[in-house]
Chain A
């Protein structure tokens, strides 16, 4: 019963989660209308912001109720708290197995769409912002745990490439849910794309990114809720299976070659000048 005692000693943390979570649920989903569509605010976003505001590392003045002990304990709890959520998603996939099989080719190939980060982010990082090798780590992937592992293995996290991937990872951890809620809201209200395509793309990131993304989608297109959840869940499961390999064997080599062929030449030139 040590496990139980350990958790009960964390009563402050669990109590705070219940209270803030309940407040967030009571506020409910809010729509902010914009010219092109609407941005959806979800309870999970309020819960994150309110918890962050009680976090002593974010707001040192409020660090009375939640202490460093609770902060340290909260990190492994995220992983456990996301497990029932993943189980729930699994139960939406089974009944929709025919939809999934029908969408199979799209579901498999959209994993390659993840390379879109290279098309958009790499040029901005290297030519727009004149970043160095940080750009390699920052732009080759969506920077979730498997991708961190790839960079840690190849360059270490202390290298420039490591700085790049860690930066995007942390921004994803802090703001990923907001970014995905906004992306999904805008894409869905544009009314151009097949909702099934939008749903599959929701599975590309972490569990909480998927929650924000599908939450926004199902709110805009409630009639397709079951299909959206099933396709996003299936895509997310595929990402676990393929993400590591796609990053390691496709995305990272492409970004390295691009960098060496363009900005890398300048690096070498500057290095030679210095030597001379």
Chain B
């Protein structure tokens, strides 16, 4: 998994758009089930919302594939989502209203389920081999990174008096 991720990070992947389009339909349908079961959003509303999310994702993937410069797909998808919902974009109010029918945590649930199924032998070995020292260091890495960001943001917000 990590090796693939590194390769993706550095070169423009030749993404197969048909393949992604089909897989995304399945992933969105799975997400729609979560959206209906957990946050109890009416299926019809959630469906339209999910279609909107699907289209934003696909436009992002098209840009990843064909834009004159390379950005990771997640960055393109995020940018398309932003542009589609800016107040001065025509029709953005409608898009925002539809997207509200999709719960963000419900979309994360299937992603984490796939992640649980994807744990490879090698990852278990690395975790065991690294031992408690590296685990302890990792916890402090996360704490330090989070706390550092909070403190800097807090300081600047206070200086701004906002």
- A residues near B (Cβ < 8 Å) are 3-4, 6-7, 13-14, 16-18, 20-22, 24-26, 28, 42-45, 47-55, 57-58, 66, 70-71, 74-78, 80-95, 97, 102-103, 105-107, 109-121, 124-125, 129, 131, 134-135, 138-139, 141-143, 145-146, 148-149, 152, 157, 163-164, 166-177, 179-180, 183-184, 187, 193-194, 196-198, 200-201, 204-205, 207-208, 211-215, 229, 233, 235-237, 240-241, 244
B67 at the interface (CB under 8 A from A): no
Closest Cβ of chain B to A88, distance in Å, is 5
* A110 touching B153, Cβ below 8 Å: yes
Contacts of A235 in B (CB 8 A): 149
Closest Cβ of chain A to B84, distance in Å, is 7
Q: Which residue from B79, B83, B113 sits with its C-beta under 8 Å from A50?
A: B113
Measured CB to CB, the nearest residue on chain B to A143 is: B141
Bound-state CA distance A63–B84 (Å) is: 44
B30 at the interface (CB under 8 A from A): yes
Contacts of A168 in B (CB 8 A): 134, 137-138, 141
Known: A85-B104, A116-B151, A201-B153. A21 touches B119 (CB 8 A): no
* B156 touching A106, Cβ below 8 Å: yes
Bound-state CA distance A111–B115 (Å) is: 27
Measured CB to CB, the nearest residue on chain A to B2 is: A148
Q: Point out which of B10, B102, B140, B147 has the most chain A C-beta atoms below 10 A from its C-beta.
A: B140
Closest Cβ of chain B to A144, distance in Å, is 9
Known: A117-B145, A177-B112. A91 touches B84 (CB 8 A): yes
Closest Cβ of chain A to B58, distance in Å, is 9
Known: A94-B83, A138-B141. A201 touches B150 (CB 8 A): yes
Measured CB to CB, the nearest residue on chain A to B105 is: A215
* A17 touching B113, Cβ below 8 Å: yes
Measured CB to CB, the nearest residue on chain A to B121 is: A57
What number of B residues sit within 8 Å (CB to CB) of A? 106
Q: Which residue from A54, A106, A115 sits with its C-beta under 8 Å from B117?
A: A54
Bound-state CA distance A163–B20 (Å) is: 33
Known: A44-B112, A49-B116. A171 touches B147 (CB 8 A): no
* B77 touching A163, Cβ below 8 Å: no
Contacts of B80 in A (CB 8 A): 87, 90
Bound-state CA distance A170–B6 (Å) is: 14
Bound-state CA distance A63–B4 (Å) is: 25
Known: A17-B110, A71-B117, A139-B141. A91 touches B81 (CB 8 A): yes
Contacts of A184 in B (CB 8 A): 146
Q: Can you report 27 residue pairs joining A to B where beta carbons are below 8 Å apart?
A: A3-B16, A3-B18, A3-B19, A51-B114, A66-B117, A71-B119, A83-B60, A83-B74, A87-B77, A88-B107, A91-B52, A91-B56, A94-B86, A95-B86, A106-B153, A110-B149, A116-B149, A117-B140, A124-B136, A124-B140, A142-B141, A143-B138, A145-B9, A171-B135, A197-B157, A200-B153, A207-B74
Bound-state CA distance A149–B72 (Å) is: 14
Known: A3-B19, A172-B142. A91 touches B99 (CB 8 A): yes
Closest Cβ of chain A to B62, distance in Å, is 13
Q: Point out which of A14, A78, A214, A244 has the most chain B C-beta atoms below 10 A from its C-beta.
A: A78
Bound-state CA distance A91–B60 (Å) is: 13
